[in-house]
Amino acid sequence: MAEIGIAEFIHQFMYDYDSRHVGKELFRAKEHEEDIVIINELTKEEIPISLKAYGDGSLQLLTDKDAKMFPTLQEYGSSIVDRKAIEEIFQSEAFALLNSVNVMPLIYREAQKECNIMVFDFDKMKEHTRKILLVNAEYKYDEETQSVVQGKGRSHPIYMFIDEEGKYICEVRYGNATANALQREFWTHTKNALGYFESLTNGWISYDHNLTLVQLFKLALNCTENGHKSANIILQTDIDELKK
């Protein structure tokens, strides 16, 4: 619903731009991970956008569907600190999607009824990465000592990207295809890597449950197509008034 709604918002309100929603069956087979495509009507450039909705915490940034990232990092060892090696990793085929992915995450705090559109800065991440460390199962990264120590950790290994201050930036989770979707691919953390995000909403904004909209969905799911057509006319008239 969010994908359809955002695509329609761009179509209705962003002049010189249009958009289309790309169905799941289509985008899974595409080169990119797009949920919607934004079209610049002046230049005809098409920009694929991957939409995410996550709670304030772990955030998946990229799907490594061919499981190439983790094995590529393994080739460089358990502690990667050489700047040239890090640059090679970012330029490798396994990490090529970092140069073209456009992720727009809606982050929410359900208990506080707050949300935030926070965009991860991939360029800043690559510029500031100074160390890539393997953190094995039952181990964790200690920011105070800037080292991997034994302790209560995760059940699968990760490679953690660290900046010049020894702070967490992001991680590549377990590369084996037998791991589930939460245990592999390219992730970050909205709280632990806050300095690598830019808010498009200028911070957290409050929201309330729109019970009128919920009622509209309930009715729409249980009426005829003729009812949908009649409702569409009323809704479009209201949108046209908003545009004035």
Identify which has the larger pLDDT, 93 or 32: 93
Q: How far is CA 213 from CA 97, 189, 220, in A?
A: 37, 31, 10
Amino acid at 111: A
Residue 237 clears pLDDT 70, i.e. is over it: yes
| Token pair recorded at residue 101 | 């992915």
Mean of per-residue pLDDT scores for the chain: 90
pLDDT (0 to 100) of residue 33: 65
d(CA 138, CA 160): 15
The residue to which tokens 């799941």 are assigned: 24
Answer whether 148's CB lies under 8 Å from 139's CB. yes
Neighbours of 154 (CB within 10 A): 16
Neighbours of 175 (CB within 10 A): 24
Per-residue model confidence as pLDDT tens digits over 32-61? 567 889 999 999 999 888 899 999 999 999
Residue 78 clears pLDDT 90, i.e. is over it: yes
pTM of the model: 0.85
H or E element in which residue 51 lies: strand 46-55
Residue 113: band (very low, low, confident or very high) from pLDDT cuts 50, 70, 90? very high
| Packed helices 2-13 and 225-243: angle between N→C axes, nearest 10 degrees | 50
| Token pair recorded at residue 195 | 């300095």
Residue 178 clears pLDDT 80, i.e. is over it: no
